[in-house]
């Protein structure tokens, strides 16, 4: 009985420790075309590229690839996010994403073609996505500024469906682009105060080049398949706070330690009780046959 009660108490303690509010999953980033944060993340497949290595050295929370977000922007993006810091959202933890380089992992796309944009989500939210493309003023070796982006988005999507763990938004790419550019995505949540920012490097080629190419016009990227894999296709959230990416081993070890201590204590008490003869006391009732007092 004592052991059963101890096990129940230990299980309750472990449940509290493991269910304590800690870092949970974060929220999302584009995977097609592949964003810089997702590319350099643990499942992006591009962490070993020179651009990603330089970004990490400069400062990028790659384990939180899906958390480039700023609170209470309320649509004032150009006021809140400084020039040269668009890809990091002005966050120092992601400043490596702003490095001006011409070798960021890029997705090859066809100018003017239909394209289904994928935005991997680890916590679905309601909100509006706005997709901007850089203009001819963009130079990859200079920091991205607001002046480098088109004034209006070429695609807007509000509350798109979540399929296979990603928002999927069909649209058409700008027809008047060629060469290396950036697709800048702003995701303004309507059910939270957060706005997310991301940069996806692309290489536009003309439709004629696409027809002549031996490869398909679909993007040649490796999307992080495991990222957000636990999200149901219907987009049911699995958490509501930010994931720092830290493992939960400390909580598991703590829970195991508590269980072990409680079990050792219970077993020790049980052994002491079983191995000790309790001290009796004189009984006031005489044994009339033996003529002596009994000891209980």
* pLDDT at residue 34 in the model: 98
Please report which helix (H) or strand (E) contains residue 2, including its range: helix 2-19
> Length of the chain in residues, anyone?
296
User: Which class in CATH covers the domain with range 28-212?
Assistant: mainly beta
* pLDDT at residue 145 in the model: 98
Cβ burial 26-64 (10 Å sphere, 16+ → b, else e): bbbbbbbbbbbbbbbbebbbbbebebbebbeeebbbbeb
How is residue 35 annotated by DSSP? B
Residues 6+ apart with CB under 8 A from 236: 124
Summarize pLDDT for 58-100 with one digit per residue, the tens: 999 999 999 999 999 999 999 999 999 999 999 999 999 999 9
Rg, C-alpha atoms of the chain: 30
**Cα-based torsion angle of the residue sequence 170, 175, 176, 180 in order, rounded to the nearest 10 degrees:** 60
Compute mean pLDDT per 10 residues along the chain, 296 residues long, and list them. Answer: 50 41 60 98 95 97 94 97 98 98 98 98 93 97 98 98 96 98 98 96 88 52 40 32 38 50 55 50 47 48
* pLDDT at residue 124 in the model: 87
| Two tokens, residue 153 | 């988005």
C-alpha–C-alpha distance, residues 185 and 133, integer Å: 9
DSSP secondary structure string for all residues of 81-127: SPTT-TTTTT-GGGGGGG---S-S--EEEETT-EEEEEEEESS---E
* pLDDT at residue 177 in the model: 97
pTM value is: 0.65
C-alpha–C-alpha distance, residues 24 and 269, integer Å: 40
Residue 31 — φ and ψ, nearest 5°?
A: -120, -10
| Two tokens, residue 119 | 């935005």
For residue 28, say if its preceding peptide bond is cis, omega within 30 degrees of 0.
no
Which among 26, 92, 56, 89 is positioned nearest to 224, based on CA atoms? Answer: 26
* pLDDT at residue 211 in the model: 64
C-alpha–C-alpha distance, residues 123 and 101, integer Å: 31
Residue-range domain boundaries for the chain: 28-212
C-alpha–C-alpha distance, residues 24 and 7, integer Å: 28
């Amino acid at each position: 009985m004592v052991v059963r009660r101890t096990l129940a108490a230990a299980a309750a303690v472990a449940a509290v420790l493991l269910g304590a509010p800690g870092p949970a999953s974060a929220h999302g980033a584009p995977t097609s075309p592949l964003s810089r944060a997702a590319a350099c993340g643990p499942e992006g497949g591009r962490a070993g590229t020179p651009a990603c290595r330089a970004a990490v050295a400069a400062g990028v929370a790659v384990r939180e690839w899906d958390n480039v977000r700023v609170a209470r922007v309320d649509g004032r993006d150009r006021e809140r996010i400084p020039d040269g810091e668009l890809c990091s959202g002005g966050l120092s933890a992601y400043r490596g994403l702003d490095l001006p380089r011409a070798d960021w992992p890029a997705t090859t796309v066809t100018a003017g073609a239909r394209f289904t944009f994928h935005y991997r989500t680890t916590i679905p939210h309601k909100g509006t996505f706005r997709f901007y493309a850089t203009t001819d003023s963009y130079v990859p070796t200079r920091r991205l500024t607001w002046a480098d982006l088109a004034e209006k988005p070429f695609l807007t999507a509000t509350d798109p469906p979540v399929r296979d763990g990603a928002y999927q938004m069909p649209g058409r790419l700008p027809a008047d682009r060629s060469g290396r550019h950036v697709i800048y995505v702003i995701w303004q949540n309507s059910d939270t105060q957060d706005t997310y920012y991301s940069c996806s490097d692309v290489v536009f080629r003309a439709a004629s080049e696409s027809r002549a190419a031996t490869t398909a016009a679909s993007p040649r990227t490796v999307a992080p398949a495991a990222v957000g894999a636990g999200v149901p296709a219907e987009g049911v959230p699995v958490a509501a706070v930010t994931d720092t990416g830290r493992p939960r081993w400390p909580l598991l070890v703590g829970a195991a330690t508590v269980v072990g201590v409680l079990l050792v204590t219970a077993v020790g008490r049980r052994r002491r009780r079983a191995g000790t003869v309790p001290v009796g006391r004189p009984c006031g009732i005489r044994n009339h046959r033996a003529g002596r007092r009994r000891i209980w």
